[in-house]
């Protein structure tokens, strides 16, 4: 997740948003460096969606840090 320092420094915001549809299924939307990725799901609970979203965000962060010289 993003910190207040990142937002204050003008860096793009990275976050995971969990939403529930009319049928009771949960989905997550991922925003990384200001880019919103397609919604993923469905999940049975909001906790499962949040954990999957955080794992996806950590994967993107690890991938980006691996490219730096």
- pLDDT tens digits, 28-52: 999 999 899 999 999 999 999 999 9
Sheet containing 26-32, strands listed edge to edge, beginning at the edge strand earlier in sequence: 15-20, 26-32, 35-43
DSSP, collapsed to helix, strand or coil, labels residue 36 as strand
DSSP, collapsed to helix, strand or coil, labels residue 7 as helix
pTM for the full predicted model:
0.76
Tokens representing residue 12 in the block: 């793009």
Rg (CA), the chain: 13
- Quick one: which of 25, 26, 33 has its CA closest to 57? 33
Residue-wise pLDDT for 19-34, tens only, equals 999 999 999 999 999 8
């Amino acid at each position: 997740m993003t910190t207040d320092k990142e937002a204050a420094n003008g860096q793009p915001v990275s976050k995971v948003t969990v939403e529930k549809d009319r049928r009771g299924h949960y989905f997550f939307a991922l925003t990384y460096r200001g880019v919103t990725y397609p919604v993923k799901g469905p999940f049975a609970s909001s906790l499962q969606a949040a954990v999957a979203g955080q794992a996806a965000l950590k994967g993107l962060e690890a991938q980006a840090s691996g490219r730096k010289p």
